[in-house]
Amino acid sequence: MKPMTATVARLGTRLAALLGVISLGACSVLPRPDPPTVYALPQPQAPASTVTTVPEPEWSLQIATPLAPAAVNRSAITVLPRPDLVNNYRGARWSDPAPILFRDALVRRLQLSHPGAVITSDDSDVPTRYKLVGRLDAFQSEYRNGQPQIVIHYQAQLLGGDAQSAVAVRRFDISLAPGSTAVGDVVAGFGQAVQQLDGQVQAWLNAVIPASPPSASAASPTP
């Protein structure tokens, strides 16, 4: 029994050594994948004609990170080769999950166009009179007739007052064709689409948020 036990032990030792050599060889032969290219949205440029001076105490707004489905709430750059297939561009990703990219771009746009107002994100504890919440239902590239289209759907709801009740609701939809199917052109197309949508959101907010609410003295009847 003892010789057989020793033989089994030697075989086990040799097998372990052989597996170790194979493992080391595989690690040295298999190539390591290249790290993905990380993309950010271009910085917004507010047109001079849209810049307005707004009294800080009256026009203050917090932009909340929009809710999003799983296919949107990620840092992968989502592409739909066909309507029933969700994929992503290989070797590329966003610098942040899409809802945060979208929120930050809108915050920067409004800060540029309303330099006298308080514009924050939900990362800040600064109290504001209004809050913009919503849902980012689409932030993706969709192939239509063999060509990509940048598609963004944003359902927005403006809350205001001490009770943060609904003030206005609107849906925004953007679809545009990038310069080509190359990832760099697709990313540039996302930047253009976001700037267009942010411009529409800005115009809507300018229309639904009063520049200066009525004062108590103005609202009270004169005895």
Instruction: Output the domain CATH number for residue 122.
Output: 3.40.50.10610
**Looking at the domain assignment, is residue 104 inside a domain?**
yes
**Looking at the domain assignment, is residue 10 inside a domain?**
no
Q: How many domains does the chain have?
A: 1
**Looking at the domain assignment, is residue 166 inside a domain?**
yes
Higher-confidence residue: 185 or 34? 185
**Looking at the domain assignment, is residue 219 inside a domain?**
no
**Looking at the domain assignment, is residue 36 inside a domain?**
no
Instruction: Name, in order, each residue with C-beta under 8 angstroms of 36's C-beta and a sequence gap of 6 or more.
Output: 91, 92, 93
Higher-confidence residue: 42 or 69? 69
For the question of whether the overall pTM of this predicted structure is more than 0.85, the answer is no
**Looking at the domain assignment, is residue 169 inside a domain?**
yes
Count of residues in the chain? 223
Closest CA to 169 of 179, 158, 177, 178: 158
> Where in the sequence is the domain holding 193, given as residue range(s)?
53-208
For 162, the token pair is 């001490």
For residue range 12-32, list pLDDT tens digits in order.
Answer: 555 555 555 445 444 545 567
Grade residue 33 by pLDDT with cuts at 50, 70 and 90.
Answer: confident
**Looking at the domain assignment, is residue 47 inside a domain?**
no
Q: How many CA atoms lie within 13 A of 40 on its CB side?
A: 7
Grade residue 116 by pLDDT with cuts at 50, 70 and 90.
Answer: confident
**Looking at the domain assignment, is residue 88 inside a domain?**
yes
How many other β-carbons are positioned within 10 Å of the β-carbon of residue 110?
A: 24
